[in-house]
Structure 1
């Protein structure tokens, strides 16, 4: 971490969604490794792994394969989208204005914001469960008022880190990774001792269709939920940083803890089929530990989940501003905190089913987010420059005004792809069907590939519509990033963008 970064730690970030000037760019891609590692070491990974055994019918070997493909594949998309943050210096959904138009971008921004708020609610709620369990060990009996306090504490902790902004988040994530990542390793080792290894490797495997469905489930529960956030944390990196290092740091930082935790969840589910469907996944995992391990485990669960929630709060605050809400970034984070508190109290005090709503949320959210990412990546493949004043011009005319503020080729492709994806989408918990599209009983639907249909169709439709419309823009700038054999250099050549 550079000295320039340290100077900003503990100081509230004053920048909102405006592009970061080169003079304020700093850091190295390794920071992304620590950030994504810390964000993915939460106990929810164990719950996802247990679901592969209990609900998908996989054996342990298949679950490990699915964990690798699902987490690496989904965070590969996050890494590729992060490249846009380095090129444009702005948050992902702000850069999306160049793709959808400054007004057409409102719809993807709303979907991404709802996704972030949902993830924050799930993570803060699960952290509150862990805090309640920790207090129970101290002899404090659970009650509704105490539950309310625990939810408030976890939300406030995540919100405070999110309020300080980028530099503080990167610093906190690094130390959370070192301290609680180490504790996570200790917990995983002790959980491994409780596993019935003979039974685990004596299981009959599920059909290939279940493996395919499992990959989609893990992707939806891991990287696909973070698609809109990648650029938010790469925007402070210098332009000359290699794109492949950004992608590599993102993928490995997230995949290492995820594969370990999902695998452990699968192993534990062999002996405890109820783990995946528990309304309190933190307590369910804790029941498998010796009593003296509960305190470090619960502390790890609390701070591991907060490490993910603070990232999501930061990004959702930026999205709220991108959507046109004229407030400071700190105010946007506070609004999110209020909404998360309400949602967290509903889950902890009123709702009696954690897994059903959680998996439904993941499955349905994956469809529009994957479609957005596909359209964005098609545009990014031919774009090395963003008109920075144009990104902030929401009143027109400007380079991203298109027709009435909407780039119809992108918006129509995105919307049509969502419809196509939902046709094949099916989500179910036990005997309860939460959502079933009219084509969900086909091979594609039964294998939970609605999100894949959405992403593929979005990319193809955008390519076709763009060609039909004859869209072509030429951006000339005094400094444009181009790829060389060893690094990315700055030239003055014009860049043609589809």
Structure 2
């Protein structure tokens, strides 16, 4: 719901049937546009930087994107069914207070992605404006993000449609330039296979998609409840995978160009690759629009995750738009500060950041999906998600214990700059921790969750009125 000014009125509360709108195609354009961006190009380049041949890097990235994208799209399909932001639904697994543990980690994820993306976007804005002061582009980008995120859901989807069109035009030109000016076909020739860098490429692709999981339903929750889950799933999956793979493929090819200079100046090299001059300015604009789309997702999702954490203890079910906008501003202010302080060694820090996030979010994703689809069988007591004395209680020990176990079992398989697990050495340095982090907690929670199932016989919905009104519940 939006006011006359266009500002979204809802935040962490249930979206009534009377306010549902849109079609699954909006999920395709949002996630396609959000992935047509420079950070995804960097992610694809990392697979080549750390040893994979361009062709095998692309294959590995596709496998990872498809695997991670399927998990992410299953979260998206929850949105129309529940009409809730993604992390509110975590209270059904972890308890109203217990959900704070993954919530805090999600907030850190949003801040990390927002900060790293702001660094690159700030560079593009500075080149458009012909200024040298790093802080100028970063601050301008933060303000642009605030405007869209503050207005909310409808504006975010509109930006996604714009980013899709602009991204296609910009990336088509870059693709053309790579194959005509830099012998793109030669970059794919004579592929040599390396098992460890190939698995790294798979992990980078999977990590990229899996880290969308904690907020993907935020952007599908206004779809009509009767929207087929398969349509939401497919629109989200293919929008995200196709957009990210185009970007990552460009990254793998760019990183393979001899003496490209991409590592030292990612944004600047894209401008040079575009042809310089006015065309470069256009490509910098494309970079800004793509990053603005995904950064808005980070800010919007981050602010609602912060609100979900706070309201879990304050017992509020409805938050006014002014409060949501305040949380958006606080989140973006923090991300800008981090961006200004942490722009050095960007590539290495980003790689470690993505792989580290996998360790803490794959167990959450496994628990959430196993509970929703296999244990609770899509039955949720929505009003109880806001009541620590209700069906789901304050803490759900089985879920929290499974979550911790899911993190711990990954440690022997990690391949981080600060720590390499003993089993990783035996695998030649390949990081498969994300697979362990999905499978082990998924199996444990399936057994434990079935034994402690708290799901109602039918989904219990709030009435199509303010969730805060006493007794406003019913069953459909």
TM-score (norm 2): 0.89
Per-residue CA shift, 1:70-122, capped at 9, x if unaligned? Answer: 22221211110112222211111101101111111010111111111111111
2:359 matched to 1:367?
Answer: yes
2:421 matched to 1:466?
Answer: no
Specify the alignment match of 2:162 in structure 1: 175
Quick one: distance in 1 between partners of 2:292 and 2:461?
A: 39
Specify the alignment match of 2:410 in structure 1: 421
Q: Is the 8 A contact 2:74 2:233 kept in 1?
A: yes
Q: SS at 1:228's partner residue?
A: helix
Quick one: distance in 1 between partners of 2:3 and 2:262?
A: 41
* 280-289 or 371-380: bigger deviation: 280-289
Specify the alignment match of 1:20 in structure 2: 15
2:29 matched to 1:34?
Answer: yes
Q: Is the 8 A contact 1:92 1:228 kept in 2?
A: yes
- Let me know the Cα RMSD of the aligned residues: 2.3
Q: Is the 8 A contact 1:192 1:264 kept in 2?
A: no
Q: SS at 2:418's partner residue?
A: strand
State the 1:310 CA deviation: 0.4
Q: SS at 2:214's partner residue?
A: coil
State the 1:195 CA deviation: 2.4
In 2 relative to 1, CA 377–198 (structure 1 residues): closer, same or farther, beyond 3 Å? closer
2:134 matched to 1:147?
Answer: yes
* 81-90 or 240-249: bigger deviation: 81-90
Structure 2 residues without counterparts, runs of 5 or longer:
463-473
Structure 1 residues without counterparts, runs of 5 or longer:
428-432, 481-491
Equivalent positions of 1:440-479 (< 5 A) are: 440-443=424-427, 446-467=429-450, 469-476=451-458
Quick one: distance in 2 between partners of 1:152 and 1:201?
A: 39
2:114 matched to 1:120?
Answer: yes
In 2 relative to 1, CA 247–391 (structure 1 residues): closer, same or farther, beyond 3 Å? same
Q: Is the 8 A contact 1:35 1:174 kept in 2?
A: yes
Q: Is the 8 A contact 2:379 2:455 kept in 1?
A: no
Picking from 374, 381, 388, the partner of 2:373 is: 381
Q: SS at 1:238's partner residue?
A: coil
User: Which stretches of structure 1, 4 residues or more, deviate above 4 A after TM superposition?
Assistant: 7-10, 273-276, 477-480
State the 1:355 CA deviation: 0.8
State the 1:218 CA deviation: 1.8
Quick one: distance in 1 between partners of 2:141 and 2:303?
A: 17
Q: SS at 1:252's partner residue?
A: helix
Per-residue CA shift, 1:208-266, capped at 9, x if unaligned? Answer: 3432221012221x212211011111111111101011111111111222222212222
In 2 relative to 1, CA 442–275 (structure 1 residues): closer, same or farther, beyond 3 Å? farther
Q: Is the 8 A contact 1:51 1:276 kept in 2?
A: no
Aligned length: 453
* 417-426 or 263-272: bigger deviation: 263-272
In 2 relative to 1, CA 273–465 (structure 1 residues): closer, same or farther, beyond 3 Å? farther
Quick one: distance in 2 between partners of 1:62 and 1:216?
A: 13
Q: Is the 8 A contact 2:146 2:328 kept in 1?
A: yes
Quick one: distance in 1 between partners of 2:308 and 2:351?
A: 28
Q: SS at 1:385's partner residue?
A: coil
In 2 relative to 1, CA 390–335 (structure 1 residues): closer, same or farther, beyond 3 Å? same
* 376-385 or 243-252: bigger deviation: 376-385
Specify the alignment match of 1:486 in structure 2: none
Quick one: distance in 2 between partners of 1:386 and 1:109?
A: 19
Q: Is the 8 A contact 1:84 1:95 kept in 2?
A: no
Specify the alignment match of 1:244 in structure 2: 230
Quick one: distance in 1 between partners of 2:217 and 2:41?
A: 27
Picking from 331, 355, 363, the partner of 1:336 is: 331
Per-residue CA shift, 1:394-443, capped at 9, x if unaligned? Answer: xx320111xxx11111111111111111331112xxxxx33333443232
Q: SS at 2:409's partner residue?
A: helix
Equivalent positions of 1:43-442 (< 5 A) are: 43-55=38-50, 57-136=51-130, 140=131, 142=132, 146-197=133-184, 199-220=186-207, 222-272=208-258, 277-278=263-264, 280-292=265-277, 293-324=279-310, 328-348=323-343, 351=344, 353-382=345-374, 383-393=377-387, 396-401=388-393, 405-427=394-416, 433-442=417-426
Q: Is the 8 A contact 2:254 2:262 kept in 1?
A: no
* 325-334 or 61-70: bigger deviation: 325-334
Quick one: distance in 1 between partners of 2:181 and 2:204?
A: 26
Q: Is the 8 A contact 2:56 2:191 kept in 1?
A: no
* 267-276 or 308-317: bigger deviation: 267-276
Quick one: distance in 1 between partners of 2:168 and 2:188?
A: 27
